[in-house]
Copies of this chain bind each other. A is one copy, B any other.
């Protein structure tokens, strides 16, 4: 889950957000008292039949301090539509030419509950309790990982579930990728 959600996007005029956001201090306080609304987007490349060929994994600094593989993730801001947040985070992490195909339906394939206590659900975020709507998002353009992301790799569904790749993902991200593949009928 990204730690740099607000930077650079607060002044955006492309989304219809009409109210002030939180200062870093206020956000810190709110995170101790309220579950925070997140989105997770699992980027995939598909063939002409919609079959998933590969999954995109970012490399970045995680809330737990590790450098890990992860999917696109971030906060939904006050006044922002869920699909606006999805597009904003996808552009932030994959660049402006990624052409993500945000789903027509708001129904997520799952809801991920991140807790400061790693034992509650296995999805772990030391900073906060976050409730995240998770989507599989086909990517049709060219990706250029930006900002907080150090790197982006595309792996096949077979590779994504290998112990080697799974071990590069902390905080439950490896499990989220396998849940996305299961939803796409591709869990081995």
Stretch binding the partner chain, chosen from A65-73, A145-153, A174-182: A174-182
Closest to A107 in B: B110
Q: Does A30 contact B (CB under 8 A)?
A: yes
In the complex, the answer to whether B36 meets A34 with C-beta atoms within 8 Å is yes
A:33-68 near B, CB below 8 Å:
33-37, 44, 46, 48-52
Rounded to whole angstroms, the CA-CA distance of A13 and B88 in the bound complex is: 39
In whole angstroms, how far apart are the Cα atoms of A175 and B46 in the complex?
22
Mark interface residues in A106-123 (1 if CB within 8 Å of B CB, else 0): 111111110101001110
The CA of A14 and the CA of B52, in the complex, are separated in Å by 18
**A contact residues, total (Cβ < 8 Å):** 64
Neighbouring B residues of A48 by C-beta, 8 Å: 87, 102
Chain B residues near A138: list those with CB within 8 A: 101, 104
Which residue of B83, B107, B115 contacts A108 across the interface (Cβ within 8 Å)?
B107
A19 at the interface (CB under 8 A from B): yes
A169 within 8 A of B: no
Query: Residues of A with Cβ closer than 8 Å to B?
Result: 16, 18-22, 26, 30, 32-37, 44, 46, 48-52, 76-84, 86-87, 101-113, 115, 117, 120-122, 129, 131, 133, 136, 138, 175, 178-179, 182-185, 187-188
25 sampled A-B residue pairs with Cβ under 8 A: A18-B117, A22-B34, A33-B78, A34-B34, A37-B131, A44-B104, A48-B87, A48-B102, A49-B83, A49-B84, A49-B86, A50-B101, A51-B104, A78-B129, A79-B115, A82-B113, A82-B131, A104-B136, A107-B107, A107-B109, A107-B111, A108-B111, A122-B188, A182-B187, A183-B183
